[in-house]
């Protein structure tokens, strides 16, 4: 992206900022008060000047001008840059993988759905790492169902109070096993089913516990030439890579499930799992829609803006999420050979949805919008209309075609409003 384009984007967002701030003040919502939030920059005038790397052009190279050149050259090149500098390299499918259907209830949720629990075993050992999928497929349909697939934070039994769900998985960073249905507010299972979609979910901690030494117990260990060692090459994958890899393995299973339409699987993730969904969707083209809910730094937000959470801070607090080399950029985002708009562009021409929340300044809503906007040239090259606007929309007003965007009133969360937009977006793109 050249300087004038970058400046244009910045100017248009400069105007929008006023509207958002105004909205937040009107709602009287609390701004983040924790110490970490206080040290972060939330002042738009202190956002440094920056130039975004061009999604269509290698530094000092010629711009890619055809869909074929994008596909054959630029796309693989960008993927490699994200592997080398941000998320680390993802290995292939797996050494030995086995699907075991644990339970099927064709009469779940009062007859609305068929509930299935399927365990994917990795590495050939029954007590090795495994991913436990919970699947609800709508009943009374004639064809395989399109599906939403997303990892959950606290265990499958937290997405719905359904007593038939096996209690499995803990609470991520929390120790105690949370109650049944305790995250159900974020998973409108009945609504999803009523709209004709299946829901597939799994606890992210099955793939790797979310803590600095979680690698010892997760899938990354299966692939290391030196298991147990604390030495990681600079481009060895981090936990986000491992979680994303698990989503692809879930997809491997879904391709074999007769209840699921493998050509209409939408990937969804919130926050760190939104970062994960974007990285999984960038790598694996079997995901036909990718949805990032409040994914922020290392997700949909531009790193170069250093607004809210920064590369320095995310690497310090979550050293296990990214590859070791990413830590070099905490002291200089402008040296990063990529920025997050290029991650969004890697999903093109497939539909992608980026959602922000007005009070979630930590995730830099404006940086998320800007990244979506700056991914547009790739969609355009591939003949797909993107956002269709140059300025962020008002609160609670969804925009876009192949790139969807909204900024919802309220906090960092997944709400019914968010889901209503995602269901509409999927209806439109899956031709329902
Ligand atoms: C925060 C982190 C964010 C976001 C969030 C979440 O602590 O700084 O990047 O990922 O957690 O996942 O809930």
**In this predicted structure, what is the pLDDT of residue 28?**
29
Ligand 1 centroid to Cα of residue 273, in Å, is 9
| Three-class SS of 159-204 | CCCCCCCCCCCCECCECCCCCCCCCHHHCCHHHHHHCCCEEEEEEH
For a pocket test of ligand 1, which of 34, 87, 272 has the largest count of ligand atoms closer than 8 A to its C-beta? Answer: 272
**In this predicted structure, what is the pLDDT of residue 170?**
66
Kindly compute the dihedral angle of the four CA atoms of residues 270, 275, 278, 282, in this order, to the nearest 10 degrees: -160
Residue whose Cα lies nearest atom 12 of ligand 1: it is: 272
State yes or no: is 406 an active-site residue: no
Closest ligand 1 atom to Cα of 309: 8
Tell me how far CA of residue 312 lies from CA of 12, 33, 105, 297, 318, in angstroms.
27, 20, 47, 10, 10
Along the chain (432 residues), what's the average pLDDT of each consecutive run of 10 residues?
A: 49 39 31 58 97 94 96 98 98 86 98 98 88 98 98 97 89 71 98 98 97 96 92 97 98 98 98 99 98 98 98 98 98 96 98 99 98 98 98 98 98 98 98 84
Ligand 1 centroid to Cα of residue 271, in Å, is 6
pLDDT digits (tens, 9 = 90+) for 219-260: 999 999 899 999 999 999 999 999 999 999 999 999 999 999
Active-site residue, selected from the candidate residues 183, 248, 271, 356: 271
CA angle 325, 245, 161 (to 5 degrees): 120
Closest ligand 1 atom to Cα of 294: 4
Ligand 1 centroid to Cα of residue 272, in Å, is 5
Contact by Cβ (8 Å): 250, 202:
yes
Q: Count of alpha carbons within 13 Å of 282, Cβ hemisphere only?
A: 31
State yes or no: is 271 an active-site residue: yes
Whether omega for the bond prior to residue 175 falls within 30 degrees of 0, making it cis, is no
**In this predicted structure, what is the pLDDT of residue 9?**
56
DSSP 8-state assignment for residue 308: B
Residue whose Cα lies nearest atom 10 of ligand 1: it is: 272
Contact by Cβ (8 Å): 192, 240:
no
Ligand 1 centroid to Cα of residue 374, in Å, is 23
Distance CA 13, CA 368 (A): 11
CA angle 363, 236, 174 (to 5 degrees): 50
Q: 44-57: buried (b, 16+ CB within 10 Å) or exposed (e) per residue?
A: beebeebebbbbbb
For a pocket test of ligand 1, which of 171, 295, 312, 318 has the largest count of ligand atoms closer than 8 A to its C-beta? Answer: 318
Looking at the DSSP bridge assignments, the partners of residue 136 are: 115, 199
**In this predicted structure, what is the pLDDT of residue 125?**
82
Closest ligand 1 atom to Cα of 275: 10
Contact by Cβ (8 Å): 422, 270:
no
Active-site residue, selected from the candidate residues 12, 182, 184, 412: 412
The H or E element spanning position 70 is: none
Distance CA 387, CA 400 (A): 4
Ligand 1 centroid to Cα of residue 315, in Å, is 12
Ligand 1 centroid to Cα of residue 355, in Å, is 15
Q: Count of alpha carbons within 13 Å of 154, Cβ hemisphere only?
A: 18
Closest ligand 1 atom to Cα of 313: 8
Closest ligand 1 atom to Cα of 36: 8
CA angle 331, 334, 340 (to 5 degrees): 105
CA 400 to chain centre: 18
Residue whose Cα lies nearest atom 13 of ligand 1: it is: 271
Ligand 1 centroid to Cα of residue 62, in Å, is 37
Residue 181 gets the label, from left (phi > 0), alpha (psi -120 to 50) or beta, of left
Closest ligand 1 atom to Cα of 412: 13
Distance CA 246, CA 241 (A): 9
Question: CB within 6 Å of ligand 1 — which residues?
Answer: 271-272, 296-297, 309, 314
Contact by Cβ (8 Å): 83, 64:
no
Distance CA 243, CA 391 (A): 33
CA angle 256, 283, 224 (to 5 degrees): 90
Structure tokens at 37: 């939030």
Contact by Cβ (8 Å): 183, 199:
no
Structure tokens at 322: 């990214």
Closest listed residue to residue 315, CA positions, set 324, 306, 307: 324
**In this predicted structure, what is the pLDDT of residue 171?**
54
Closest listed residue to residue 238, CA positions, set 257, 270, 260, 213: 213
């Amino acid at each position: 992206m050249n300087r004038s384009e970058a400046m244009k984007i910045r100017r248009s967002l400069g105007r929008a900022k006023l509207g958002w701030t105004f909205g937040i003040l009107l709602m009287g919502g609390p701004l983040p008060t924790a110490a970490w939030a206080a040290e972060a920059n939330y002042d738009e005038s202190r956002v440094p000047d920056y130039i975004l790397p061009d999604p269509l052009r290698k530094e000092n190279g010629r711009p890619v001008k055809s869909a074929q050149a994008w596909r054959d050259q630029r796309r693989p090149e960008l993927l490699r840059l994200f592997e080398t500098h941000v998320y680390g390299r993802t290995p292939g499918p797996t050494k030995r993988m086995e699907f075991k259907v644990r339970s099927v209830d064709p009469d779940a949720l009062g007859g609305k759905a068929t509930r299935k629990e399927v365990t994917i075993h990795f590495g050939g050992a029954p007590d090795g790492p495994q991913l436990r999928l919970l699947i609800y497929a709508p009943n009374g349909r004639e064809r395989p169902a399109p599906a939403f697939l997303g990892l959950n934070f606290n265990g499958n039994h937290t997405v719905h109070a359904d007593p038939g769900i096996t209690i499995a998985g803990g609470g991520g960073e929390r120790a105690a096993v949370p109650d049944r249905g305790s995250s159900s507010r974020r998973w409108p299972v009945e609504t999803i089913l009523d709209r004709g979609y299946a829901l597939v979910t799994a606890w992210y901690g099955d793939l790797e516990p979310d803590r600095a030494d979680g690698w010892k117990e997760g899938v990354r260990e299966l692939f290391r030439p030196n298991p147990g060692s604390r030495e990681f090459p600079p481009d060895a994958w981090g936990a986000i890579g491992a979680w994303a890899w698990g989503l692809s393995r879930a997809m491997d299973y879904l391709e074999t499930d007769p209840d699921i339409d493998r050509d209409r699987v939408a990937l969804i993730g919130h926050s760190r799992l939104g970062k994960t969904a974007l990285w999984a969707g960038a790598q694996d083209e079997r995901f036909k829609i990718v949805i990032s809910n409040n994914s922020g730094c290392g997700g949909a937000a531009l790193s170069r803006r250093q607004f809210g959470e920064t590369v320095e801070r995310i690497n310090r607090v979550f050293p296990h999420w990214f590859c070791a080399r990413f830590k070099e950029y905490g002291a200089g985002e402008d040296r990063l050979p990529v920025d997050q708009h290029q991650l969004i562009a890697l999903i093109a021409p497939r539909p992608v949805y980026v959602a922000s929340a007005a009070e979630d300044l930590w995730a830099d809503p404006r940086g998320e919008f800007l990244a979506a906007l700056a991914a547009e040239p790739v969609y355009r090259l591939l003949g797909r209309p993107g956002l269709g606007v140059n300025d962020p929309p008002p609160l609670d007003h969804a925009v876009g075609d192949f790139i969807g965007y909204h900024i919802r009133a309220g906090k960092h969360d997944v709400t019914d409003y968010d889901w209503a937009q995602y269901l509409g977006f999927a209806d439109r793109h899956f031709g329902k």
